[in-house]
Chain A
Amino acid sequence: MAFGAFGSTATSAVPVEPAVRRRSPVALFLLLPGILYLALFFLAPLFSLILTSLQQPSLTGDIGAYETAFRWENYTTVITQYGEHIVRSFSYAAIATIAALLFSYPLAYFIGVKLRPFPLMQALALTLVIAPFFISFLLRTLAWKQILSDDGFFVTSLKAVSLMAPDAHITGEPIAVIFGLTYNFIPFMTLPIYTSLEKLDLRYVEAGNDLYASPARTFFAITLPLSAPGVISGMLLTFIPAAGDYVNASRDFLGSTETPMIGNVIEANFLVLQNYPAAAALSIVLMATILVLVAIYVKRSGTEELI
Protein backbone atom coordinates (compact mmCIF):
# COMPACT_ATOMS: atom_id res chain seq x y z
CA MET A 1 0.00 0.00 0.00
CA ALA A 2 2.99 2.31 0.14
CA PHE A 3 2.04 4.15 -3.03
CA GLY A 4 -1.59 3.15 -2.97
CA ALA A 5 -2.16 5.46 -0.03
CA PHE A 6 -1.10 8.34 -2.23
CA GLY A 7 -3.06 7.33 -5.27
CA SER A 8 -6.33 6.55 -3.57
CA THR A 9 -6.87 10.05 -2.20
CA ALA A 10 -9.20 10.90 -5.08
CA THR A 11 -11.69 8.09 -4.70
CA SER A 12 -13.22 6.81 -1.52
CA ALA A 13 -13.60 3.07 -1.82
CA VAL A 14 -17.01 1.88 -0.74
CA PRO A 15 -16.69 -1.71 0.44
CA VAL A 16 -18.50 -3.97 -2.01
CA GLU A 17 -18.51 -7.67 -2.63
CA PRO A 18 -15.49 -8.06 -4.92
CA ALA A 19 -16.02 -9.73 -8.27
CA VAL A 20 -14.50 -13.17 -8.55
CA ARG A 21 -11.27 -12.96 -10.54
CA ARG A 22 -11.52 -15.24 -13.53
CA ARG A 23 -9.16 -16.42 -16.24
CA SER A 24 -9.97 -15.13 -19.69
CA PRO A 25 -8.17 -14.26 -22.91
CA VAL A 26 -9.64 -10.75 -22.43
CA ALA A 27 -7.01 -10.19 -19.71
CA LEU A 28 -4.25 -10.61 -22.25
CA PHE A 29 -5.89 -8.14 -24.61
CA LEU A 30 -6.21 -5.60 -21.77
CA LEU A 31 -2.69 -6.04 -20.42
CA LEU A 32 -0.60 -6.50 -23.51
CA PRO A 33 -0.54 -2.98 -25.00
CA GLY A 34 0.38 -1.28 -21.72
CA ILE A 35 2.89 -3.92 -20.69
CA LEU A 36 4.57 -3.81 -24.11
CA TYR A 37 4.69 -0.03 -23.85
CA LEU A 38 6.44 -0.21 -20.48
CA ALA A 39 8.77 -2.92 -21.76
CA LEU A 40 9.75 -0.73 -24.67
CA PHE A 41 9.98 2.64 -22.91
CA PHE A 42 10.84 1.69 -19.34
CA LEU A 43 12.67 -1.67 -19.28
CA ALA A 44 14.51 -1.30 -22.58
CA PRO A 45 15.87 2.14 -21.56
CA LEU A 46 17.22 0.67 -18.32
CA PHE A 47 18.89 -2.04 -20.37
CA SER A 48 20.31 0.57 -22.72
CA LEU A 49 21.62 2.49 -19.71
CA ILE A 50 23.51 -0.61 -18.60
CA LEU A 51 24.96 -1.13 -22.07
CA THR A 52 25.88 2.55 -22.41
CA SER A 53 27.50 2.57 -18.98
CA LEU A 54 29.99 -0.07 -20.14
CA GLN A 55 30.94 1.57 -23.44
CA GLN A 56 34.40 2.82 -24.28
CA PRO A 57 35.38 5.85 -26.35
CA SER A 58 35.38 5.14 -30.07
CA LEU A 59 38.76 4.65 -31.72
CA THR A 60 38.06 7.54 -34.08
CA GLY A 61 38.38 9.80 -31.03
CA ASP A 62 35.30 11.90 -31.90
CA ILE A 63 33.56 13.57 -28.97
CA GLY A 64 30.34 11.74 -28.15
CA ALA A 65 31.27 8.64 -30.18
CA TYR A 66 31.37 5.40 -28.20
CA GLU A 67 31.44 1.73 -28.98
CA THR A 68 30.10 -1.32 -27.21
CA ALA A 69 32.48 -2.79 -24.65
CA PHE A 70 32.49 -4.13 -21.13
CA ARG A 71 34.47 -1.47 -19.40
CA TRP A 72 33.57 -2.05 -15.76
CA GLU A 73 36.16 0.56 -14.76
CA ASN A 74 33.60 3.16 -15.81
CA TYR A 75 31.86 2.44 -12.53
CA THR A 76 34.92 2.74 -10.31
CA THR A 77 35.87 5.91 -12.19
CA VAL A 78 32.55 7.66 -11.61
CA ILE A 79 32.28 6.50 -8.02
CA THR A 80 35.73 7.88 -7.15
CA GLN A 81 35.31 10.98 -9.28
CA TYR A 82 31.80 11.84 -8.11
CA GLY A 83 31.69 10.16 -4.68
CA GLU A 84 31.24 13.55 -3.08
CA HIS A 85 28.19 14.29 -5.25
CA ILE A 86 26.65 10.92 -4.49
CA VAL A 87 27.05 11.41 -0.74
CA ARG A 88 25.77 14.98 -1.04
CA SER A 89 22.64 13.88 -2.94
CA PHE A 90 21.65 11.28 -0.40
CA SER A 91 22.37 13.52 2.58
CA TYR A 92 20.41 16.45 1.13
CA ALA A 93 17.55 14.12 0.27
CA ALA A 94 17.57 12.55 3.75
CA ILE A 95 17.59 15.91 5.54
CA ALA A 96 14.85 17.26 3.25
CA THR A 97 12.74 14.15 3.89
CA ILE A 98 13.00 14.54 7.68
CA ALA A 99 12.29 18.27 7.44
CA ALA A 100 9.27 17.65 5.21
CA LEU A 101 8.00 14.97 7.64
CA LEU A 102 8.30 17.32 10.64
CA PHE A 103 6.56 20.07 8.71
CA SER A 104 3.83 17.88 7.22
CA TYR A 105 2.76 15.64 10.08
CA PRO A 106 1.11 18.34 12.22
CA LEU A 107 -0.46 19.84 9.10
CA ALA A 108 -1.81 16.47 7.94
CA TYR A 109 -3.10 15.80 11.48
CA PHE A 110 -4.84 19.16 11.50
CA ILE A 111 -6.54 18.51 8.13
CA GLY A 112 -7.35 14.86 8.73
CA VAL A 113 -8.44 14.98 12.37
CA LYS A 114 -9.15 18.53 13.56
CA LEU A 115 -10.98 19.58 10.39
CA ARG A 116 -13.01 16.35 10.23
CA PRO A 117 -16.19 18.01 11.53
CA PHE A 118 -15.92 20.67 8.78
CA PRO A 119 -15.88 18.87 5.39
CA LEU A 120 -15.83 22.06 3.33
CA MET A 121 -12.88 23.52 5.24
CA GLN A 122 -11.15 20.17 4.94
CA ALA A 123 -11.57 20.25 1.17
CA LEU A 124 -10.29 23.82 1.06
CA ALA A 125 -7.26 22.92 3.17
CA LEU A 126 -6.44 20.00 0.86
CA THR A 127 -6.70 22.32 -2.13
CA LEU A 128 -4.20 24.65 -0.44
CA VAL A 129 -1.80 21.74 0.08
CA ILE A 130 -1.93 20.72 -3.58
CA ALA A 131 -2.04 24.34 -4.85
CA PRO A 132 1.75 24.38 -5.45
CA PHE A 133 1.24 21.58 -8.03
CA PHE A 134 -0.77 23.96 -10.19
CA ILE A 135 1.97 26.51 -10.69
CA SER A 136 5.19 25.66 -12.46
CA PHE A 137 7.69 23.86 -10.23
CA LEU A 138 10.55 25.84 -11.82
CA LEU A 139 8.89 29.22 -11.32
CA ARG A 140 8.16 28.44 -7.66
CA THR A 141 11.79 27.54 -7.11
CA LEU A 142 12.92 30.73 -8.84
CA ALA A 143 10.51 32.69 -6.66
CA TRP A 144 12.28 31.31 -3.56
CA LYS A 145 15.61 32.22 -5.11
CA GLN A 146 14.50 35.80 -5.41
CA ILE A 147 12.81 35.92 -2.01
CA LEU A 148 15.97 34.56 -0.33
CA SER A 149 18.42 36.58 -2.44
CA ASP A 150 21.00 38.86 -0.82
CA ASP A 151 19.08 42.06 -1.52
CA GLY A 152 15.68 40.50 -0.75
CA PHE A 153 13.59 41.58 2.20
CA PHE A 154 14.23 38.40 4.22
CA VAL A 155 18.03 38.49 4.13
CA THR A 156 18.29 42.27 4.59
CA SER A 157 16.02 42.10 7.67
CA LEU A 158 17.99 39.24 9.19
CA LYS A 159 21.18 41.20 8.65
CA ALA A 160 19.64 44.37 10.07
CA VAL A 161 18.95 42.63 13.38
CA SER A 162 22.35 40.89 13.25
CA LEU A 163 20.88 37.39 13.05
CA MET A 164 23.03 36.87 9.98
CA ALA A 165 26.62 37.88 9.32
CA PRO A 166 26.83 40.84 6.89
CA ASP A 167 28.73 38.81 4.31
CA ALA A 168 26.63 35.63 4.60
CA HIS A 169 24.28 34.33 1.91
CA ILE A 170 21.38 31.92 1.78
CA THR A 171 21.04 31.22 -1.94
CA GLY A 172 23.86 29.12 -3.33
CA GLU A 173 24.44 27.50 0.07
CA PRO A 174 23.52 23.88 0.90
CA ILE A 175 20.80 25.17 3.23
CA ALA A 176 19.00 26.82 0.29
CA VAL A 177 19.09 23.62 -1.77
CA ILE A 178 17.78 21.55 1.15
CA PHE A 179 15.13 24.19 1.79
CA GLY A 180 14.05 24.07 -1.87
CA LEU A 181 13.89 20.27 -1.88
CA THR A 182 11.84 20.33 1.32
CA TYR A 183 9.41 22.92 0.03
CA ASN A 184 8.92 21.24 -3.34
CA PHE A 185 8.11 17.82 -1.90
CA ILE A 186 5.92 18.86 1.06
CA PRO A 187 2.66 18.00 -0.77
CA PHE A 188 4.00 14.49 -1.51
CA MET A 189 4.56 14.04 2.22
CA THR A 190 1.38 15.69 3.47
CA LEU A 191 -1.14 13.92 1.22
CA PRO A 192 -0.37 10.27 2.12
CA ILE A 193 -0.10 11.09 5.83
CA TYR A 194 -3.43 12.89 5.59
CA THR A 195 -4.95 9.82 3.88
CA SER A 196 -3.87 7.62 6.82
CA LEU A 197 -4.93 10.06 9.53
CA GLU A 198 -8.27 10.74 7.89
CA LYS A 199 -9.20 7.10 8.55
CA LEU A 200 -7.83 7.14 12.11
CA ASP A 201 -10.48 5.88 14.51
CA LEU A 202 -10.50 8.46 17.31
CA ARG A 203 -11.92 5.94 19.78
CA TYR A 204 -8.45 4.41 20.05
CA VAL A 205 -7.04 7.79 21.05
CA GLU A 206 -9.84 8.23 23.59
CA ALA A 207 -9.08 4.80 24.99
CA GLY A 208 -5.47 5.91 25.47
CA ASN A 209 -6.60 9.02 27.32
CA ASP A 210 -9.04 7.03 29.45
CA LEU A 211 -6.19 4.76 30.49
CA TYR A 212 -4.28 7.79 31.79
CA ALA A 213 -1.66 7.79 29.03
CA SER A 214 -0.01 11.17 28.60
CA PRO A 215 -0.78 12.94 25.29
CA ALA A 216 2.78 12.16 24.16
CA ARG A 217 2.40 8.48 25.05
CA THR A 218 -0.96 8.30 23.25
CA PHE A 219 0.62 9.87 20.20
CA PHE A 220 3.60 7.54 20.06
CA ALA A 221 1.70 4.38 21.04
CA ILE A 222 -1.49 4.91 19.03
CA THR A 223 -1.66 7.77 16.52
CA LEU A 224 1.79 7.42 14.99
CA PRO A 225 1.71 3.61 14.46
CA LEU A 226 -1.77 3.83 12.93
CA SER A 227 -0.58 6.47 10.47
CA ALA A 228 2.59 4.53 9.61
CA PRO A 229 1.50 3.53 6.07
CA GLY A 230 1.05 7.21 5.19
CA VAL A 231 4.36 8.17 6.77
CA ILE A 232 6.16 5.41 4.87
CA SER A 233 4.73 6.30 1.48
CA GLY A 234 5.26 10.01 2.15
CA MET A 235 8.91 9.42 2.97
CA LEU A 236 9.44 7.34 -0.18
CA LEU A 237 7.61 9.85 -2.36
CA THR A 238 9.86 12.61 -1.00
CA PHE A 239 13.19 10.85 -0.74
CA ILE A 240 13.28 9.24 -4.19
CA PRO A 241 12.60 12.34 -6.31
CA ALA A 242 14.67 14.53 -3.97
CA ALA A 243 17.76 12.31 -4.36
CA GLY A 244 17.54 12.53 -8.15
CA ASP A 245 16.54 16.19 -8.41
CA TYR A 246 18.84 18.63 -10.13
CA VAL A 247 16.72 21.74 -10.46
CA ASN A 248 17.03 22.98 -6.86
CA ALA A 249 20.80 22.42 -6.77
CA SER A 250 21.35 24.01 -10.17
CA ARG A 251 23.39 27.22 -10.30
CA ASP A 252 20.54 29.15 -11.94
CA PHE A 253 18.18 28.13 -9.15
CA LEU A 254 19.00 27.67 -5.44
CA GLY A 255 22.46 26.13 -5.72
CA SER A 256 25.96 27.13 -6.74
CA THR A 257 29.16 25.47 -7.90
CA GLU A 258 29.48 24.21 -4.31
CA THR A 259 26.23 22.22 -4.27
CA PRO A 260 25.89 20.01 -7.37
CA MET A 261 23.99 16.79 -6.74
CA ILE A 262 24.20 13.53 -8.67
CA GLY A 263 21.40 14.70 -10.98
CA ASN A 264 23.42 17.76 -11.99
CA VAL A 265 26.40 15.56 -12.82
CA ILE A 266 24.27 13.19 -14.91
CA GLU A 267 22.73 16.11 -16.77
CA ALA A 268 26.09 17.76 -17.44
CA ASN A 269 27.71 14.53 -18.59
CA PHE A 270 24.82 13.52 -20.81
CA LEU A 271 23.62 16.76 -22.32
CA VAL A 272 26.70 18.98 -22.26
CA LEU A 273 29.89 16.91 -22.17
CA GLN A 274 28.40 14.03 -24.19
CA ASN A 275 30.12 11.61 -21.84
CA TYR A 276 27.27 9.11 -22.11
CA PRO A 277 29.00 6.18 -20.36
CA ALA A 278 29.71 8.28 -17.25
CA ALA A 279 26.14 9.62 -17.17
CA ALA A 280 24.74 6.12 -17.63
CA ALA A 281 27.00 4.58 -14.96
CA LEU A 282 25.98 7.28 -12.48
CA SER A 283 22.30 6.73 -13.28
CA ILE A 284 22.68 3.02 -12.59
CA VAL A 285 24.50 3.77 -9.31
CA LEU A 286 21.70 6.16 -8.28
CA MET A 287 18.95 3.72 -9.23
CA ALA A 288 20.64 0.74 -7.55
CA THR A 289 21.29 2.67 -4.33
CA ILE A 290 17.69 3.86 -4.19
CA LEU A 291 16.30 0.38 -4.84
CA VAL A 292 18.46 -1.10 -2.08
CA LEU A 293 17.48 1.65 0.38
CA VAL A 294 13.79 1.34 -0.51
CA ALA A 295 13.89 -2.45 -0.21
CA ILE A 296 15.51 -2.27 3.24
CA TYR A 297 13.16 0.47 4.37
CA VAL A 298 10.02 -1.25 3.12
CA LYS A 299 11.11 -4.58 4.61
CA ARG A 300 11.91 -3.05 8.00
CA SER A 301 8.69 -1.09 8.13
CA GLY A 302 6.74 -4.23 7.23
CA THR A 303 4.81 -2.97 4.24
CA GLU A 304 3.57 -5.98 2.34
CA GLU A 305 2.07 -4.72 -0.90
CA LEU A 306 3.52 -1.84 -2.88
CA ILE A 307 0.87 -1.17 -5.46
Chain B
Amino acid sequence: MAPVTRWFGKYALWIYSTIAFVFLLIPIAYTIAFSFNDSRRSNIAWRGFTLDNWLGICDAQGVCEAFGNSIVVGLSATVLATVLGTMIAIALVRFRFPFRNATSLLLFLPMATPEVVLGAGLAAEFLTAGVQKGALTVILAHTMFCISFVVVTVRARVASLDPALEEAGRDLYASPSQVFVRVTLPLLMPGIIAAALLSFALSFDDFIITNFNSGAYVTFPKFVYTAAARGIPAEANVIASAVFFIAIIFVVVSQLSAAARRKRLALQG
Protein backbone atom coordinates (compact mmCIF):
# COMPACT_ATOMS: atom_id res chain seq x y z
CA MET B 1 0.00 0.00 0.00
CA ALA B 2 1.24 3.46 -0.85
CA PRO B 3 1.89 5.63 2.23
CA VAL B 4 -0.88 8.05 1.21
CA THR B 5 -3.52 5.31 1.04
CA ARG B 6 -2.36 3.85 4.32
CA TRP B 7 -2.54 7.28 5.96
CA PHE B 8 -6.00 7.76 4.53
CA GLY B 9 -7.13 4.29 5.68
CA LYS B 10 -6.03 5.10 9.20
CA TYR B 11 -7.66 8.51 9.40
CA ALA B 12 -10.61 8.09 7.02
CA LEU B 13 -13.09 7.67 9.86
CA TRP B 14 -11.75 10.72 11.69
CA ILE B 15 -12.00 12.82 8.53
CA TYR B 16 -15.48 11.52 7.73
CA SER B 17 -16.75 12.14 11.26
CA THR B 18 -15.38 15.68 11.34
CA ILE B 19 -17.19 16.46 8.10
CA ALA B 20 -20.34 14.79 9.44
CA PHE B 21 -20.28 16.93 12.60
CA VAL B 22 -19.81 20.09 10.55
CA PHE B 23 -22.73 19.04 8.35
CA LEU B 24 -24.96 18.47 11.41
CA LEU B 25 -24.08 21.91 12.74
CA ILE B 26 -24.55 23.93 9.51
CA PRO B 27 -28.24 24.85 9.97
CA ILE B 28 -27.65 25.54 13.67
CA ALA B 29 -24.82 27.95 12.85
CA TYR B 30 -27.02 29.52 10.17
CA THR B 31 -29.93 30.03 12.58
CA ILE B 32 -27.66 31.58 15.21
CA ALA B 33 -25.88 33.80 12.68
CA PHE B 34 -29.17 35.14 11.38
CA SER B 35 -30.24 36.09 14.90
CA PHE B 36 -27.63 38.87 14.51
CA ASN B 37 -28.89 39.93 11.08
CA ASP B 38 -29.96 43.52 10.61
CA SER B 39 -32.99 42.11 8.85
CA ARG B 40 -35.76 44.72 9.11
CA ARG B 41 -38.59 43.07 7.13
CA SER B 42 -37.38 39.71 5.90
CA ASN B 43 -34.65 37.68 7.52
CA ILE B 44 -33.46 35.95 4.36
CA ALA B 45 -30.52 37.92 2.98
CA TRP B 46 -27.61 38.98 5.18
CA ARG B 47 -27.69 42.74 5.72
CA GLY B 48 -25.10 43.31 8.38
CA PHE B 49 -24.45 42.59 12.02
CA THR B 50 -26.64 44.00 14.75
CA LEU B 51 -27.45 43.30 18.38
CA ASP B 52 -30.87 44.94 18.10
CA ASN B 53 -32.72 41.61 17.81
CA TRP B 54 -31.09 40.32 20.98
CA LEU B 55 -31.72 43.55 22.89
CA GLY B 56 -35.36 43.76 21.86
CA ILE B 57 -36.42 40.10 21.80
CA CYS B 58 -40.08 40.93 22.29
CA ASP B 59 -40.23 43.62 19.60
CA ALA B 60 -41.59 41.26 16.97
CA GLN B 61 -45.29 40.78 17.47
CA GLY B 62 -46.28 37.55 19.17
CA VAL B 63 -42.83 35.97 19.55
CA CYS B 64 -42.53 36.34 23.29
CA GLU B 65 -46.12 35.37 23.92
CA ALA B 66 -45.63 32.20 21.87
CA PHE B 67 -42.41 31.45 23.74
CA GLY B 68 -44.16 31.95 27.10
CA ASN B 69 -46.97 29.63 26.01
CA SER B 70 -44.45 26.96 25.05
CA ILE B 71 -42.83 27.20 28.49
CA VAL B 72 -46.21 26.90 30.25
CA VAL B 73 -47.22 23.90 28.12
CA GLY B 74 -43.78 22.29 28.46
CA LEU B 75 -43.72 22.58 32.25
CA SER B 76 -47.29 21.35 32.74
CA ALA B 77 -46.91 18.39 30.39
CA THR B 78 -43.53 17.52 31.92
CA VAL B 79 -44.89 17.41 35.47
CA LEU B 80 -47.94 15.35 34.51
CA ALA B 81 -46.05 12.92 32.26
CA THR B 82 -43.16 12.48 34.70
CA VAL B 83 -45.48 11.61 37.62
CA LEU B 84 -47.68 9.22 35.60
CA GLY B 85 -44.74 7.66 33.74
CA THR B 86 -42.60 7.13 36.85
CA MET B 87 -45.47 5.36 38.61
CA ILE B 88 -45.90 3.01 35.64
CA ALA B 89 -42.15 2.36 35.39
CA ILE B 90 -41.98 1.31 39.06
CA ALA B 91 -45.01 -0.96 38.66
CA LEU B 92 -43.54 -2.59 35.52
CA VAL B 93 -40.25 -3.48 37.17
CA ARG B 94 -41.44 -4.31 40.68
CA PHE B 95 -44.83 -5.94 40.46
CA ARG B 96 -46.56 -8.88 38.89
CA PHE B 97 -49.95 -8.03 37.44
CA PRO B 98 -52.34 -9.38 34.81
CA PHE B 99 -52.32 -7.93 31.27
CA ARG B 100 -48.63 -7.18 31.51
CA ASN B 101 -48.03 -7.60 27.77
CA ALA B 102 -51.06 -5.51 26.91
CA THR B 103 -49.72 -2.75 29.15
CA SER B 104 -46.32 -2.87 27.45
CA LEU B 105 -48.00 -2.70 24.06
CA LEU B 106 -50.11 0.28 25.15
CA LEU B 107 -46.92 2.08 26.20
CA PHE B 108 -45.05 1.17 23.02
CA LEU B 109 -47.77 2.13 20.53
CA PRO B 110 -47.76 5.92 21.05
CA MET B 111 -44.03 5.91 20.17
CA ALA B 112 -44.69 3.87 17.02
CA THR B 113 -47.58 6.02 15.85
CA PRO B 114 -46.80 8.89 13.48
CA GLU B 115 -47.43 12.25 15.11
CA VAL B 116 -49.90 13.24 12.44
CA VAL B 117 -52.13 10.30 13.44
CA LEU B 118 -51.85 11.13 17.16
CA GLY B 119 -52.66 14.76 16.38
CA ALA B 120 -55.59 14.07 14.08
CA GLY B 121 -56.99 11.43 16.47
CA LEU B 122 -57.01 13.77 19.45
CA ALA B 123 -58.45 16.54 17.32
CA ALA B 124 -61.22 14.20 16.15
CA GLU B 125 -61.94 13.24 19.74
CA PHE B 126 -62.05 16.85 20.94
CA LEU B 127 -64.29 17.70 18.01
CA THR B 128 -66.71 14.87 18.79
CA ALA B 129 -66.74 15.72 22.49
CA GLY B 130 -67.19 19.42 21.74
CA VAL B 131 -64.05 20.46 23.65
CA GLN B 132 -62.76 23.92 22.74
CA LYS B 133 -59.13 23.75 21.54
CA GLY B 134 -56.64 25.82 23.49
CA ALA B 135 -53.89 25.63 26.12
CA LEU B 136 -55.57 22.73 27.92
CA THR B 137 -55.92 20.51 24.84
CA VAL B 138 -52.27 21.14 23.93
CA ILE B 139 -51.13 20.17 27.45
CA LEU B 140 -53.30 17.03 27.38
CA ALA B 141 -51.82 16.05 24.01
CA HIS B 142 -48.20 16.66 25.00
CA THR B 143 -48.59 14.72 28.26
CA MET B 144 -49.88 11.76 26.27
CA PHE B 145 -46.86 11.42 23.99
CA CYS B 146 -44.35 12.14 26.77
CA ILE B 147 -45.55 9.34 29.10
CA SER B 148 -44.02 6.48 27.09
CA PHE B 149 -40.64 8.20 26.88
CA VAL B 150 -40.69 8.76 30.66
CA VAL B 151 -41.49 5.07 31.24
CA VAL B 152 -38.62 3.91 29.02
CA THR B 153 -36.14 6.26 30.69
CA VAL B 154 -37.14 5.70 34.33
CA ARG B 155 -37.62 1.94 33.89
CA ALA B 156 -33.91 1.50 33.14
CA ARG B 157 -33.11 3.27 36.39
CA VAL B 158 -35.58 1.21 38.45
CA ALA B 159 -34.16 -1.99 36.96
CA SER B 160 -30.61 -1.04 37.97
CA LEU B 161 -31.67 -0.18 41.53
CA ASP B 162 -30.22 -2.52 44.13
CA PRO B 163 -33.14 -3.90 46.19
CA ALA B 164 -30.74 -4.52 49.08
CA LEU B 165 -30.74 -0.79 49.79
CA GLU B 166 -34.51 -0.77 50.28
CA GLU B 167 -34.30 -3.94 52.36
CA ALA B 168 -31.80 -2.18 54.61
CA GLY B 169 -34.35 0.59 55.09
CA ARG B 170 -37.05 -1.93 56.02
CA ASP B 171 -34.70 -3.73 58.39
CA LEU B 172 -34.22 -0.44 60.18
CA TYR B 173 -37.99 -0.32 60.79
CA ALA B 174 -38.78 2.34 58.19
CA SER B 175 -42.42 2.29 57.07
CA PRO B 176 -43.03 1.51 53.37
CA SER B 177 -43.71 5.19 52.67
CA GLN B 178 -40.52 6.21 54.49
CA VAL B 179 -38.51 3.71 52.46
CA PHE B 180 -40.01 5.11 49.27
CA VAL B 181 -39.41 8.78 50.11
CA ARG B 182 -36.01 8.40 51.79
CA VAL B 183 -34.44 5.57 49.77
CA THR B 184 -36.20 4.69 46.53
CA LEU B 185 -37.07 8.17 45.27
CA PRO B 186 -33.62 9.72 45.81
CA LEU B 187 -31.99 6.76 44.06
CA LEU B 188 -34.36 7.09 41.12
CA MET B 189 -33.85 10.86 40.87
CA PRO B 190 -31.21 10.90 38.09
CA GLY B 191 -33.54 8.81 35.91
CA ILE B 192 -36.56 10.95 36.78
CA ILE B 193 -34.66 14.16 36.01
CA ALA B 194 -33.46 12.76 32.69
CA ALA B 195 -37.04 11.78 31.85
CA ALA B 196 -38.36 15.22 32.79
CA LEU B 197 -35.76 16.96 30.63
CA LEU B 198 -36.57 14.68 27.71
CA SER B 199 -40.30 15.40 28.14
CA PHE B 200 -39.72 19.13 28.24
CA ALA B 201 -37.55 19.02 25.13
CA LEU B 202 -40.11 16.88 23.25
CA SER B 203 -42.97 19.16 24.27
CA PHE B 204 -41.10 22.40 23.59
CA ASP B 205 -40.21 21.43 20.03
CA ASP B 206 -43.43 19.65 19.12
CA PHE B 207 -45.22 21.11 16.18
CA ILE B 208 -47.29 18.46 14.40
CA ILE B 209 -49.53 17.36 17.30
CA THR B 210 -49.79 20.94 18.55
CA ASN B 211 -50.93 22.19 15.16
CA PHE B 212 -53.94 19.87 15.25
CA ASN B 213 -54.99 20.66 18.80
CA SER B 214 -54.14 24.26 19.55
CA GLY B 215 -56.89 26.22 17.83
CA ALA B 216 -55.95 29.87 18.25
CA TYR B 217 -53.36 29.12 20.97
CA VAL B 218 -49.88 29.79 19.60
CA THR B 219 -46.79 27.94 20.83
CA PHE B 220 -43.29 28.82 19.63
CA PRO B 221 -43.06 26.16 16.88
CA LYS B 222 -46.53 27.08 15.71
CA PHE B 223 -45.49 30.72 15.55
CA VAL B 224 -42.53 29.77 13.36
CA TYR B 225 -44.69 27.63 11.07
CA THR B 226 -47.27 30.36 10.56
CA ALA B 227 -44.59 33.00 10.09
CA ALA B 228 -42.70 30.84 7.56
CA ALA B 229 -45.16 31.83 4.83
CA ARG B 230 -44.41 35.55 5.16
CA GLY B 231 -40.90 35.56 6.66
CA ILE B 232 -39.64 34.74 10.14
CA PRO B 233 -38.69 37.71 12.31
CA ALA B 234 -35.07 37.60 13.49
CA GLU B 235 -36.36 37.63 17.08
CA ALA B 236 -37.52 34.02 16.59
CA ASN B 237 -33.90 33.12 15.75
CA VAL B 238 -32.83 34.93 18.93
CA ILE B 239 -35.18 32.87 21.09
CA ALA B 240 -34.18 29.59 19.43
CA SER B 241 -30.47 30.48 19.75
CA ALA B 242 -30.86 31.42 23.42
CA VAL B 243 -32.64 28.14 24.16
CA PHE B 244 -29.90 26.29 22.27
CA PHE B 245 -27.11 27.92 24.30
CA ILE B 246 -28.86 27.25 27.61
CA ALA B 247 -29.43 23.58 26.70
CA ILE B 248 -25.85 23.08 25.49
CA ILE B 249 -24.36 24.70 28.62
CA PHE B 250 -26.62 22.49 30.73
CA VAL B 251 -25.55 19.30 28.93
CA VAL B 252 -21.84 20.16 28.97
CA VAL B 253 -21.89 21.05 32.68
CA SER B 254 -23.73 17.84 33.57
CA GLN B 255 -21.35 15.73 31.48
CA LEU B 256 -18.29 17.38 33.00
CA SER B 257 -19.62 16.84 36.51
CA ALA B 258 -20.42 13.21 35.67
CA ALA B 259 -16.88 12.77 34.36
CA ALA B 260 -15.47 14.35 37.52
CA ARG B 261 -17.59 12.02 39.66
CA ARG B 262 -16.39 8.98 37.72
CA LYS B 263 -12.82 10.09 38.22
CA ARG B 264 -13.37 10.55 41.97
CA LEU B 265 -14.93 7.10 42.23
CA ALA B 266 -12.09 5.60 40.23
CA LEU B 267 -9.56 7.17 42.58
CA GLN B 268 -11.38 5.86 45.63
CA GLY B 269 -11.77 2.41 44.14
- Chain A residues with CB under 8 Å of chain B are 3-4, 6-8, 10-19, 21-24, 26-28, 30-31, 33-35, 37-39, 41-46, 48-49, 51-52, 103, 106-107, 109-111, 114, 119-120, 123-125, 127-144, 146-147, 183, 186, 236, 240-241, 243-247, 252-253, 262-263, 266-267, 270-271, 276, 279-280, 283-284, 286-287, 290-291, 294, 306-307
Contacts and interface: CB of A to CB of B under 8 A. Distances in A.
Contacts of B96: 21-23, 27
Contacts of A252: 225, 228-229
B103 A13 contact: no
B26 interface: yes
Interface in B1-43: 13-14, 16-17, 20-21, 24-28, 30-32, 34
A135 B113 CA distance: 24
A257 B125 CA distance: 30
B68 to A, nearest CB: 16
B137 to A, nearest CB: 10
Interface of B: 13-14, 16-17, 20-21, 24-28, 30-32, 34, 44, 84-85, 87-88, 90-91, 93-97, 103-118, 120-125, 127-128, 140-141, 143-144, 147-149, 151-153, 155-157, 159-164, 166, 190-191, 194, 198, 201, 205, 207-208, 211-212, 220-221, 224-225, 228-229, 232, 236-237, 240-241, 243-244, 247-248, 251-252, 255, 258-259, 262
B212 A271 contact: yes
B106 A253 contact: no
Nearest to A251: B229
A114 B211 contact: no
A306 B108 contact: yes
A184 to B, nearest CB: 10
Contact of B259 (A11, A16, A123, A240): A123
B128 A7 contact: no
Contact of B205 (A137, A144, A243, A284): A137
A24 B176 CA distance: 13
29 contacts: A3-B152, A7-B155, A11-B153, A11-B157, A11-B160, A11-B190, A11-B191, A11-B194, A22-B94, A31-B88, A34-B84, A38-B107, A41-B140, A41-B144, A48-B128, A51-B128, A52-B124, A123-B255, A124-B255, A127-B255, A132-B28, A134-B243, A138-B207, A142-B228, A183-B27, A267-B211, A270-B123, A279-B120, A287-B114
